Amino acid sequence: MEGFKSLINYISNPTILFTAILIGFPFVFPPNDWFYKINKRLKIDLLWTKKGLFVMMVITIAFFIFGLGDSDFRSIVLKPDNVPISGLIILLIFFTWLSMSQAYENDKLIDEGKSVNEHYEAPNDKVLVWPDLVYVELISLILFSAFMLIWSIGLPAPIEQPANPSESPNPAKAPWYFLGLQEMLVYYDPWYAGVVLPSFIIVGLMAIPYIDRDPNGSGFYSYKNRKLSASIYLFGWLVLWNVLIVIGTFLRGPNWGFFGPFEYWDSHRLEALTNVNLSEFFYVKWLGMGLPSNILIREAPGLIIMFIILGILPALLAKTWLRKFYDELGVSRFSIFVSLMILGVLLPVKMYLRWFFNLKYVISIPEYFFNF
């Protein structure tokens, strides 16, 4: 058992865990026909059957039950602040399965020439707000209120002592719903991680139906007809948001260091890291000279890289790999689509640069409070 715990702690290292998620994601949620064929060939789509749900739930619940036998795991998972995240993981699995199973079922019905499950024929399929909808909402309200009452009695509210400026909690964590943002703060400046990047994620997810106006698969669950849109949405929602919340909740310990779920949170453990900017990499480490005094010359490497990524790369993609989307979407919608996609991809790229090269900022202009 100790060997299994050590293995889980090793795999839980974000460099390994996040890499495995990024590699496996397009096979589970295929963004194009090539990945979709592999998904079918490897029978990964069986995850969205009832047996698939049963297996995923059994594995998840069994892991939590096994982990509760370990004092370190138990102290993390049963902390009142963290209990909702344990439930969040189970709910994410269920509702992702529910939507994907409905989508794959509809795709199968379409291939067979049948009507989708959401097919509506008035007036036979009409459902009245009163009493049908109101009764369901009333019952849901009563059940959820009872659940919250039992929860509040059985699980004490995590109210701590009044704030003491001379004794800060270690680790100092935001509420669980902001832990994704707090994790982003490790890799970006507060103005970008706390305001700009979350806004881009939210606006990007909202913009998907306006960018993708293909009527196929509209109005009902379908994956086959909207592979790219569904894959991008799920990547933003699951990977760039919920995975970061889970990492911040269970894997970030004292001094904001990484700890495995079966690892003791030692407040004395420190990681000696020297974070450097790209300009320091370029001039000091690679060229063996001091930093130029001129800001534009000093930050020229980062400015050139960002110009290539945000200025040249979209045009290059429009002429090569994404030529089909450029022709379908037009200049304006394609520009918005590619810009949002690039900004989303830059987050995991920046995470890897920090993990492997201790790169702090690509562009650092503290004279004008601008870091990126």
Query: Could you say which of 271, 294, 317 is where a domain stops?
Result: 271
Residues 90, 218 within the same domain: yes
How many residues are listed for the chain in this entry?
372
Residue 41 is predicted with a pLDDT of: 93
Task: For the chain, give the percent of residues with pLDDT over 90.
Answer: 27
Quick: pLDDT tens for 256-280.
888 889 998 888 887 767 788 999 9
Whether 353 maps to a domain, the answer reads yes
The rounded distance, in Å, linking the Cα atoms of 184 and 164 is 26
162 domain residue, yes or no: no
The pLDDT value given to residue 96 = 95
Q: How far apart are alpha carbons 260 and 191 in whole angstroms?
A: 30
* 215 has a pLDDT exceeding 80: no
Residue 104 and residue 239 in one domain? yes
116 is a domain residue: no
Query: What digits encode the pLDDT tens for the residues 137-161?
Result: 999 999 999 998 888 888 776 677 7
pLDDT of amino acid 125: 64
Q: Please check whether residues 105 and 190 belong to one and the same domain.
A: yes
Q: Which of 271, 297, 319 marks a domain boundary?
A: 271
Q: What is the pLDDT of residues 79-125, one digit of tens each?
A: 888 888 888 899 999 999 999 999 999 888 888 888 887 666 666 66
| Assigned token pair, 112 | 């067979």
Average pLDDT over residues 152-179: 79
Last residue of a domain, one of 271, 293, 320: 271
**Which has more pLDDT, 38 or 80?**
38
Q: Is residue 294 domain-shared with residue 193, that is, in the same domain? A: no
Contact indicator for 110, 218 with CB cutoff of 8 Å = no
The most confident of the ranges 22-26, 118-122, 194-198, 364-368 is 22-26
Query: Does position 217 have pLDDT exceeding 70, yes or no?
Result: no
Query: Is position 127 within any domain?
Result: no
pLDDT score recorded for residue 123: 63
Mean of all residue pLDDT scores within the chain:
86
Does residue 299 sit in the same domain as residue 258?
Answer: no
Q: Using CA atoms, how far apart are residues 89 and 289, in angstroms rounded to an integer?
A: 50
pLDDT of residue 321: 83
319 assigned to some structural domain: yes
Q: What is the pLDDT of residue 305?
A: 93
SS3 helix, strand, coil % of the chain, rounded to 5?
A: 70, 0, 30
**Gyration radius from the chain CA atoms:** 24
Residues 256 and 285 in one domain: no
Task: Give domain status of residue 80, yes or no.
Answer: yes
Instruction: Please provide residue 48's backbone torsions phi and psi, each rounded to the nearest 5 degrees.
Output: -95, 15
pLDDT tens profile 306-339: 999 988 998 898 888 888 888 888 888 888 888 8
pLDDT at 52: 94
Residue 147 lies inside a defined structural domain of this protein: no
Q: How many domains does the chain have?
A: 2
Buried b (16+ CB within 10 A) or exposed e, 70-81: bebbeebbeeee
Reference 219, options 131, 367, 117, 67; nearest CA is 117
Q: Which of 251, 253, 358 minimizes the C-alpha distance to 13?
A: 251
The token pair at 348 is 């995991």
For residue 349, the enclosing domain spans: 273-372
* pLDDT (average), residues 182-197: 85
Residues 180 and 92 in one domain: yes
pLDDT, mean of residues 238-245: 89
Task: Output the pLDDT for position 307.
Answer: 92
Say what the pLDDT of residue 119 is.
Answer: 65
Q: Quick check: is 73 in a domain?
A: yes
Share of the chain above pLDDT 70, in %: 96
Residues 86, 191: one domain?
Answer: yes
Q: Do residues 234 and 319 share a domain?
A: no
d(CA 352, CA 293) in angstroms, rounded, equals 29
353 and 303, same structural domain?
yes
pLDDT band at 24 (very low <50, low <70, confident <90, very high): very high
- Shared domain for 97 and 228, answered yes or no, is yes
